[in-house]
């Protein structure tokens, strides 16, 4: 249910927002949209911040469906971004069927996708960035990336992130931070991004003030960098994903300690102000709710550029004097924030969440050539068809997605298991009914550095404990204890989840779907899964498991299931 506070957020933003949900003319079809429509903007103030986040190594246009369910808990319930579907459109004042509705909601997605086409493409992002720089001048423009750029595709996996470093450099990104970057391993991260003592090979700043060495708690990376733009000193403070060693394998970065480190952020802000910074920007990979809490507790941050949770909002959310910007994922959006800054405070601003509608934007020739060079050696393999889908295949949503269902079914069949578990990852493109499922599509949803598909036995009690643990990571009412992502996906298993219950009391009614029998705490079950954080996990890579299943099936039909029952307090 949309709350009054959500409507107040929209009303407060409406006067200063352009782009999606603002002054951009409505269009009935993609043919009526072009770059001029998407870039229409009245400049304001001394400086323009451009922000991209969670690219997940997507170089070419894709389909990408926003979540149908994105629940908030505690004080965040009913607030943006925890509103979805038609409720989101109503609360944000977006007309159903418009290009904005297509970009920001799951409502009517399939029909709108066939109307407006694919989204993203790094060569389209390059076109938009160059246009804004030409309009404002490079001396007034600062382009920042929110992390999760170096993982999520075959070419990024094969090049250990090297392809995306080239792309970010050519795009002119000036600073980034990290999360999935760390799953390349500490040595590779250090090679690319260096440390406080030495530069890496990547020609952009890697800012992560919340990572220290485990032995002496010395900072590993630079925390901040100051940029001169529009006559302003802009301090950009980087915040990597605080829970990386929990959500991802600890053995890949064994000597680094992460965390939110609120007091360290406060000290960095104070140091920036003492050094004469006119504008303080937190380039964050905390996740939106963590950033909202942080903004309320740390004074002096003007702007937080949020990432990790893949949220896309057509306006900034104000917390005190801080603006929170959420720029979506998969190169689907480019955020533009123009700021008028006086005496260290934002006195006025304009904002656009620019939709990267691939058919409406001419590819930048230089970036297109780089993308072609990166992909050419693998193009034949990536384009190979494995099967066809008769259903909409998507990943996003708090509890399940049809693409995840296919992955779970593949593990059940290929690994001869009773139950399968698939992580609630938010990365991975969407496929429309009738579309070929290619090797590229499989890699876009599985490409990672710890892909082993294991086969083990779990007791019924262990299954419940796993589900309870993940549920608390996702639905803890204190944002500082949330680790992002979505609920673990399950195959062959049904259960009820009480979102607002306490830790250890959310999961009930576990059922083995193939028999309809209740899961017994003391009985063991054969379980297949992937992406285990344990070192030396054995099993074939998940992409081979999924590909084998698709080749056997030839045609895929996956419809949303009701095996997970969701209960909220109050009905």
pLDDT at 26: 41
Over residues 76-116, the pLDDT tens digits come to 999 999 999 999 999 999 999 999 999 999 999 999 999 99
Q: Read off the pLDDT of each residue in 117-130 and give the average, rounded to a whole number.
A: 98
Percent of the chain at pLDDT > 70 equals 94
Q: Residue 71: inside a domain, yes or no?
A: no
Q: Residue 95: inside a domain, yes or no?
A: no
Q: Residue 232: inside a domain, yes or no?
A: yes
pLDDT at 17: 56
Over residues 156-199, the pLDDT tens digits come to 999 999 999 999 999 999 999 999 999 999 999 999 999 999 99
Q: Residue 161: inside a domain, yes or no?
A: yes
Q: Residue 14: inside a domain, yes or no?
A: no
357 and 479 in a single domain? The answer is no
352 and 416 in a single domain? The answer is no
Over residues 188-238, the pLDDT tens digits come to 999 999 999 999 999 999 999 999 999 999 999 999 999 999 999 999 999
CB of 438 closer than 8 Å to CB of 386: yes
Q: Residue 345: inside a domain, yes or no?
A: yes
Question: What is the CA 218 to chain-centroid distance, rounded?
Answer: 29
Burial 107-140 (b: 16+ CB within 10 A, else e): bbbbebbebbbbbbbbbbbbbbbebbbeebeeeb
**Radius of gyration, CA atoms only, the chain:** 23
Query: How far is 359 from 125, CA to CA, in rounded Å?
Result: 12
Q: Is the pTM above the cut of 0.85?
A: yes
234 and 368 in a single domain? The answer is yes
Q: How many domains does the chain have?
A: 2
Tell whether the model's pLDDT for residue 492 goes beyond 50: yes
Over residues 442-476, the pLDDT tens digits come to 999 999 999 999 999 999 999 999 999 999 999 99
361 and 391 in a single domain? The answer is no
Per-residue CA distances from 555 to 26, 389, 391, 410 (Å): 37, 6, 10, 13
354 and 454 in a single domain? The answer is no
pLDDT at 211: 98
Q: How many CB atoms lie within 10 A of CB 36?
A: 9
pLDDT at 167: 98
* Average pLDDT of the residues of the chain: 94
Q: What CATH number has the domain bearing residue 562?
A: 3.90.780.10
Q: How many CB atoms lie within 10 A of CB 478?
A: 12
The pLDDT-based confidence of 27 (bands split at 50, 70, 90) is very low
End-of-domain residue from the set 337, 354, 373 = 373
Q: How many CB atoms lie within 10 A of CB 541?
A: 16
End-of-domain residue from the set 323, 342, 373 = 373
Query: How far is 405 from 309, CA to CA, in rounded Å?
Result: 21
DSSP string of 437-474, one letter each residue: EEHHHHHHHH--S--BEEEEEEEHHHHHHHHHHHHHHH
**Hey, which residues does 495 pair with through a beta bridge?**
564
391 and 339 in a single domain? The answer is no
End-of-domain residue from the set 320, 347, 373 = 373
pLDDT at 484: 72
- 493-498/564-567 β-pairing: parallel
**Three-state DSSP string of 46-101:** CEEEEEECCCCCCCCCEECCCCCCCCCCHHHCCCCCCCCHHHHHHHHCCCCCCHHH
Residue 1's Cβ-count burial label (10 Å; 0-12, 13-18, 19+) is exposed
Residue with tokens 């490409």: 447
CB of 411 closer than 8 Å to CB of 545: yes
Over residues 556-571, the pLDDT tens digits come to 998 888 899 999 986 5
Residue 271's Cβ-count burial label (10 Å; 0-12, 13-18, 19+) is middle
401 and 360 in a single domain? The answer is no
311 and 399 in a single domain? The answer is no
Per-residue CA distances from 460 to 96, 297, 523 (Å): 44, 42, 6
Over residues 363-395, the pLDDT tens digits come to 999 999 999 999 999 999 999 999 999 999 999
Which of these, 457, 454, 428, 418, lies nearest to 530 by C-alpha position? 454
Which of these, 177, 175, 151, 426, lies nearest to 284 by C-alpha position? 177
Most confidently predicted of 35-39, 338-342, 394-398: 338-342
Q: How many CB atoms lie within 10 A of CB 481?
A: 14
Q: What CATH number has the domain bearing residue 152?
A: 3.60.21.10
11: its two tokens: 């009303």
pLDDT at 29: 44
Cα angle value 161/447/422 (rounded, 5°)? 140
Query: How far is 307 from 534, CA to CA, in rounded Å?
Result: 26
Tell whether the model's pLDDT for residue 505 goes beyond 80: yes
Query: How far is 199 from 187, CA to CA, in rounded Å?
Result: 13
pLDDT at 561: 84
The pLDDT-based confidence of 16 (bands split at 50, 70, 90) is low
Query: How far is 85 from 66, CA to CA, in rounded Å?
Result: 9
300 and 398 in a single domain? The answer is no
Q: Read off the pLDDT of each residue in 496-505 and give the average, rounded to a whole number.
A: 95
Tell whether the model's pLDDT for residue 11 goes beyond 70: no
354 and 412 in a single domain? The answer is no
Q: Residue 69: inside a domain, yes or no?
A: no
Q: Residue 423: inside a domain, yes or no?
A: yes
404 and 369 in a single domain? The answer is no
243 and 271 in a single domain? The answer is yes
pLDDT at 6: 52
Domain that holds residue 425: 383-567
């Amino acid at each position: 249910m949309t709350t009054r506070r959500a409507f107040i957020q929209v009303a407060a933003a409406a006067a200063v927002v352009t782009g999606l949900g603002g002054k951009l003319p409505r269009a009935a079809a993609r043919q009526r949209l072009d770059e001029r429509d998407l870039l229409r903007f009245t400049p304001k103030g001394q400086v323009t911040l451009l922000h991209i986040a969670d690219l997940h190594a997507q170089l070419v246009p894709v389909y990408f469906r926003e979540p149908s369910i994105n629940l908030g808990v505690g004080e965040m319930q009913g607030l943006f971004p925890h509103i979805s579907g038609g409720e989101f459109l109503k609360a944000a004042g977006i007309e159903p069927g418009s290009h904005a509705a297509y970009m920001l909601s799951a409502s009517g997605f399939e029909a709108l996708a066939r109307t407006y086409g694919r989204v993203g493409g790094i060569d389209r992002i390059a076109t938009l960035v160059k246009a804004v720089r030409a309009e404002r001048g490079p001396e007034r423009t600062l382009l920042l990336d929110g992390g999760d750029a170096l993982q999520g595709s075959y070419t990024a996996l094969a090049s250990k992130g090297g392809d995306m470093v080239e792309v970010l450099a050519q795009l002119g990104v000036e600073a980034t931070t990290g999360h999935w970057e760390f799953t390349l391993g500490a040595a590779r991260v250090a090679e690319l991004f260096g440390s406080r003592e030495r530069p890496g090979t990547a020609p952009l700043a890697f800012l992560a003030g919340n990572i220290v060495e485990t032995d002496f708690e010395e900072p590993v990376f630079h925390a901040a960098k100051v940029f001169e733009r529009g006559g302003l000193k802009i301090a950009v403070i980087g915040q990597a994903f605080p829970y990386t060693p929990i959500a991802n394998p600890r053995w890949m970065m064994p000597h680094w300690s992460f965390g939110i480190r609120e007091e360290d952020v406060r000290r960095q802000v104070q140091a920036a102000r003492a050094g004469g910074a006119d504008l303080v920007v937190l380039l964050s990979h905390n996740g939106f709710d963590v950033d909202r809490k942080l903004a309320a507790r740390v004074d002096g941050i003007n702007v937080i550029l949020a990432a990790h949770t893949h949220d896309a909002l057509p306006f900034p959310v104000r917390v005190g004097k801080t603006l929170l910007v959420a720029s979506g994922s998969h190169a689907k959006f480019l955020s533009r924030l123009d700021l008028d800054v006086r005496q260290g405070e934002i006195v006025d601003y304009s904002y656009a969440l620019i939709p990267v509608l691939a058919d409406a934007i001419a590819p930048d020739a230089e970036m297109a050539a780089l993308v072609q060079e990166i992909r050419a050696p693998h193009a034949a393999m990536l384009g190979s068809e494995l099967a066809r889908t008769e259903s909409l295949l998507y990943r996003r949503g708090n509890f399940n997605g049809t693409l995840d269902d296919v992955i779970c079914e593949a593990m059940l069949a290929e690994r001869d298991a009773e139950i399968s578990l698939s992580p609630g990852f938010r990365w991975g493109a969407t496929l429309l009914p009738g579309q070929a499922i290619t090797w590229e599509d499989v890699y876009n949803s599985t490409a990672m550095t710890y892909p082993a598909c294991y086969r083990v036995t779990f007791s019924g009690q262990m299954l419940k404990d796993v589900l309870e643990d993940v549920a608390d990571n996702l639905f803890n009412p204190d944002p500082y204890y949330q680790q992002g992502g979505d609920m673990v996906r399950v195959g062959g298993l049904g259960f009820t989840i009480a979102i607002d219950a306490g830790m250890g009391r959310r999961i009930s009614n576990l059922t083995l779907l193939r028999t309809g029998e209740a899961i017994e705490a003391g009985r063991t079950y054969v379980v297949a899964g992937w992406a285990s954080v344990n070192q030396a996990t054995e099993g074939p890579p998940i992409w081979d498991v999924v590909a084998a299943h698709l080749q056997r099936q030839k045609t895929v039909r996956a419809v949303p299931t009701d095996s997970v029952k969701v209960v909220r307090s109050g009905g």
